A and B are shown apart, each in its own frame.
Chain A
Amino acid sequence: MNDLIGESFIGESLACLRGERVVFAGLDFALGSGGALLLTGANGAGKSSLLRVMAGLLPPAAGQLWWDREDVTREPEPHRARVAYLGHQDGVKAALTPREDLIFWLRYRAPRLDKRAAEARAAEALDWAGLKALGDLPCRVLSAGQRRRLALARIVFDASARLWLLDEPTSTLDAAAAQSLNERVASHRAQGGMIVAATHQALDWPDAISLDLDIYARRRAAAATRGLFLNDLA
C-alpha cells in the first residue's frame, strides 16, 4: 500500500443514508499520492453513493472525509476544484458539438486557461477520444461509447483534477478505448494523482486497492434481523 507521503485522501467511519435506509456505515478508506481504489459490490451496494460522498456532492450521514489535514465536509469549496467526477450519465448536450463541449469544460475547470490554449487542448482531447472526424457535428449523432469517451476526455485532459472519481468508466468502451484509458490512468497516477472507480469489470490497474461494499450489505442484513441501529453497524 502507499505510504501516504504527499497528498492523502482519507475517509473515516463514513455512513450514508438513502431514503432512511442505511446504505453503508462505518466505512474507512485511505488513499495516498498516486493511489487507486476500486469499488466493487452488487447493484445497490452503495458504490455510486460513496463516489458522490467523495466528490462532496452528497454529505455523509456520519463520519469524516480528509484531504491532507483539511476537513472536506466542512470546507467543500477547495475540494470541488480538485475533484473530477464522472457519474453514470455523461452530461453531454445533444445540441453542442464535441469540440464546444470540451472547450467549455476545460475552461470551466481552469479559468486561467485562455481561449487559444483551450482550443489546442480540446483538439488534442478529441484526437485521444477518437472523435476527430466528428468534432464539429452535434453530439446527438454520437453513440453511447463515443459519448463516454468524450466525457472521459474532459477528465483526462483536466490538468486541475487531483482526484478522479469514475462510475463504471469502461462499461460502454471497446477494448482499444479501455486500453488508452488505462494508459492515461497510469500517467495520472505517476504524477501523484489519485483515482477511485466503481466497477463490475476487472480493471488492469497495478497496486489498486479493492473495497468490497457487499460486506456492508451483509452487516446491514445481519443488523436488521437483530434489530440493531446505525451505531451498532460501525
Chain B
Amino acid sequence: MNGFTLLLARDLRLAWRRPADAAVALAFFIVAACLFPFGVGADQQLLTRIAPGVLWAVALLATLLPLERLFLADAEDGALDRLALGPHGLATLVLAKAAAQWLIVALPLLLAAPLVALLLNMDGRGFGALIAALALGTPTLVLIGTVAAALATGARRGGVLLALLALPLELPVLIFGAGAIDAALAGLPFVSHLQVLAGLLLGSLVIAPFAGAAALKLALE
C-alpha cells in the first residue's frame, strides 16, 4: 500500500471515530438552505429562480467549514512533523488530505443536494445537472480549500484567512456550477458548463498538491 492510500485510510478512520466534523458541514448545508424559503417568503417562482445559486453558495460555504482543522489538528499534536518526514513527499500528503476531505464532507452534501433542491422548489429537470455539476465542482472546491488550509496552518486566526484566500478562487466554480443548473432548467444544453468545471478540476488537481506542499513547508518551520 502506498503513502496516499495509507494516509487516506488513516483520515477516514479518524473521521469515522469522530463523525461530528462531517455532520456539522452537512447540517449547515441543510439548515442554511432552509433559511431561504423563510427569508424570501412563500413566493414559489422566486424560490425556483434562485434555487441553483442558493444551493451552490451554501454548498461552497459548507465545504469551507471543516477545513480549518484539516492540517491544524495534526500540527497541534506534532503528527504533522512526522508526516512530513518519510519517503512520501508533502504533495502526496496534500492530495490524500483533499481526497479524504471530499469523501468525508463533500460526498454527503452531494447525496443531500436533491432533498435540499426539493425544499427550494427546484424543477425536476435540473436534478441531473445539479448532481453532475456538484460531482465535478466540489473536488475543485476541496482542493482549493486544502491549499488555503495549508497556508492558514502556520498563521494565527487561520480560519478567517482561509475563507478570504479560498473564496475568490472558488468563484468560477460557483458561476459555472449554478450556470449548468440554470441552463438545464431553461431546457438548454449544459455540457459546456460541465466541461469548464472539469477543466477547473483538472487544473486544480495539477496545481493544488504542489501549492499545498509549498505552503506546508512554511507551516512546518
Which A residues form the contact surface with B (CB < 8 A)? 52, 55-59, 77, 80-81, 83-93, 95-96, 100, 104-105, 107-111, 115, 138, 154, 160
Residues of B within 8 A of A57 (CB): 81, 84-85, 220-221
Nearest chain B CB to A51 CB, angstrom units? 10
Which of the residues B3, B18, B85 comes within 8 Å of A95, measured between beta carbons? B18
Quick one: closest A residue to B7, CB to CB? A108
Tell whether, in the assembled complex, residue B14 and residue A93 are in contact, meaning their CB atoms are under 8 Å apart: yes
Nearest chain A CB to B210 CB, angstrom units? 14
Residues of A within 8 A of B78 (CB): 87-91
User: Could you show 19 A-B contacts with beta carbons less than 8 Å apart?
Assistant: A52-B81, A55-B81, A57-B81, A57-B84, A81-B85, A83-B85, A85-B81, A85-B82, A91-B77, A91-B79, A93-B14, A93-B79, A95-B18, A96-B13, A100-B13, A105-B82, A108-B6, A108-B7, A110-B87
Quick one: closest A residue to B85, CB to CB? A80
Quick one: closest A residue to B17, CB to CB? A95
Residues of B within 8 A of A83 (CB): 85
- Residues of chain B from 3 to 61 with CB closer than 8 A to chain A in the complex: 3, 6-7, 10, 13-14, 17-18
Residues of B within 8 A of A84 (CB): 85
| CB-based closest 8 A-B pairs | A89-B78, A91-B79, A91-B78, A95-B17, A81-B87, A80-B85, A57-B220, A58-B221
Report the count of interface residues on B (CB-CB < 8 A). Answer: 26
Residues of A within 8 A of B220 (CB): 57-58
Q: Is B128 an interface residue (CB 8 A)?
A: no
Besides A90-B77, A91-B79, 4 more A-B contacts (Cβ < 8 Å) are A52-B81, A57-B81, A92-B79, A93-B77
Residues of A within 8 A of B80 (CB): 91
Tell whether, in the assembled complex, residue B86 and residue A115 are in contact, meaning their CB atoms are under 8 Å apart: no
What is the CA–CA distance of A160 and B86 in the complex, to the nearest angstrom?
Answer: 9
Counting residue pairs across A and B whose Cβ atoms lie within 8 Å, the total is 77
- Residues of chain B from 67 to 98 with CB closer than 8 A to chain A in the complex: 74, 77-89
Given known contacts A57-B220, A92-B77, A104-B10, A111 and B85 CB-to-CB distance under 8 angstroms: no
Residues of B within 8 A of A56 (CB): 85
Bits for B94-118, please: 1 = Cβ < 8 Å to A, else 0.
0000000000000000000000000
What is the CA–CA distance of A77 and B87 in the complex, to the nearest angstrom?
Answer: 7
Tell whether, in the assembled complex, residue A89 and residue B3 are in contact, meaning their CB atoms are under 8 Å apart: no
Tell whether, in the assembled complex, residue B18 and residue A89 are in contact, meaning their CB atoms are under 8 Å apart: no
Tell whether, in the assembled complex, residue B221 and residue A77 are in contact, meaning their CB atoms are under 8 Å apart: no
Given known contacts A91-B78, A108-B3, A108-B6, A96 and B14 CB-to-CB distance under 8 angstroms: yes
Nearest chain A CB to B147 CB, angstrom units? 20
Residues of A within 8 A of B83 (CB): 108
Tell whether, in the assembled complex, residue B6 and residue A104 are in contact, meaning their CB atoms are under 8 Å apart: yes
Tell whether, in the assembled complex, residue B77 and residue A109 are in contact, meaning their CB atoms are under 8 Å apart: no
Tell whether, in the assembled complex, residue A107 and residue B18 are in contact, meaning their CB atoms are under 8 Å apart: no
Quick one: closest A residue to B14, CB to CB? A95
Residues of B within 8 A of A52 (CB): 81, 221
Q: Is B1 an interface residue (CB 8 A)?
A: yes
Nearest chain A CB to B115 CB, angstrom units? 30
Nearest chain A CB to B208 CB, angstrom units? 20
Quick one: closest B residue to A95, CB to CB? B17
Quick one: closest A residue to B74, CB to CB? A91
Nearest chain A CB to B188 CB, angstrom units? 48
Residues of A within 8 A of B3 (CB): 108, 111
